[in-house]
């Protein structure tokens, strides 16, 4: 599977530092891409211990794996959340990325994948 483009639209109130907020959301979306397509932590069911030997066995997305990502800010300052109308950005960008990719796979193939990372061969 390959993701060619990602677009995220976020309502985070007033953005005080657009460059930092955009970078934080790009990172979250990249993490969501890794969660959906490559990251697999293996756990021993008897001992409940992670059995990945090292980070070399835990695949995370690198620059060549990440498509063009566009971040859009929508909404206006929200005075009900804080006096300045701001909301935290944090890693909200990760939320929904894996589900969106899984839905795109379903739309393309008709197969509903429910385990991460997504693998068409597994189901």
Angle, vertex CA 95, rays to CA 41 and CA 58, nearest 5: 20
Q: Is the CATH number 3.30.365.10 carried by domain 5-109? A: yes
Asked if pLDDT for residue 57 goes beyond 80, the answer is no
Contact between 90 and 10 under an 8 Å Cβ cutoff? The reply is no
Asked if pLDDT for residue 122 goes beyond 80, the answer is no
Q: Where are the domains of the chain?
A: 5-109
Asked if pLDDT for residue 58 goes beyond 70, the answer is yes
pLDDT in tens, 18-47: 999 999 999 999 999 999 999 888 889 999
Average pLDDT on 97-119 reads 94
Rounded CA gap, 70 and 46, in Å? Answer: 43
> Which residues have a Cβ under 8 Å from the Cβ of 98 and sit 6 or more positions away?
32, 35, 36, 116, 118
Rounded CA gap, 51 and 66, in Å? Answer: 27
Torsion of CA 36, 41, 45, 47, to 10 degrees: -150
The confidence band for 68, taking pLDDT boundaries of 50, 70 and 90, is very high
Q: Is 39 a catalytic residue?
A: no
Of the residues 57, 70, 76, 91, which is catalytic? Answer: 91
- Greatest mean pLDDT among 25-29, 73-77, 91-95 lies in 25-29
Average pLDDT on 112-121 reads 90
Asked if pLDDT for residue 5 goes beyond 90, the answer is yes
């Amino acid at each position: 599977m390959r993701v060619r483009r990602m677009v995220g639209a976020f309502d985070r109130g007033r953005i005080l530092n657009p460059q930092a907020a955009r970078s934080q959301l790009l990172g979250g979306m990249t993490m969501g891409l890794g969660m959906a397509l490559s990251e697999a932590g293996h756990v021993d069911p008897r001992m409940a211990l992670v059995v990945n030997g090292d980070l070399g066995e835990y695949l995370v997305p690198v620059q060549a794996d990440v498509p063009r990502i566009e971040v859009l800010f929508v909404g206006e300052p929200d005075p009900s959340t804080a006096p300045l109308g701001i909301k935290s950005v944090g890693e909200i960008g990760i939320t929904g990325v894996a589900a969106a990719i899984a839905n795109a796979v379903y739309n393309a193939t008709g197969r509903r994948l429910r385990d991460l990372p997504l693998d068409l061969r597994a189901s």
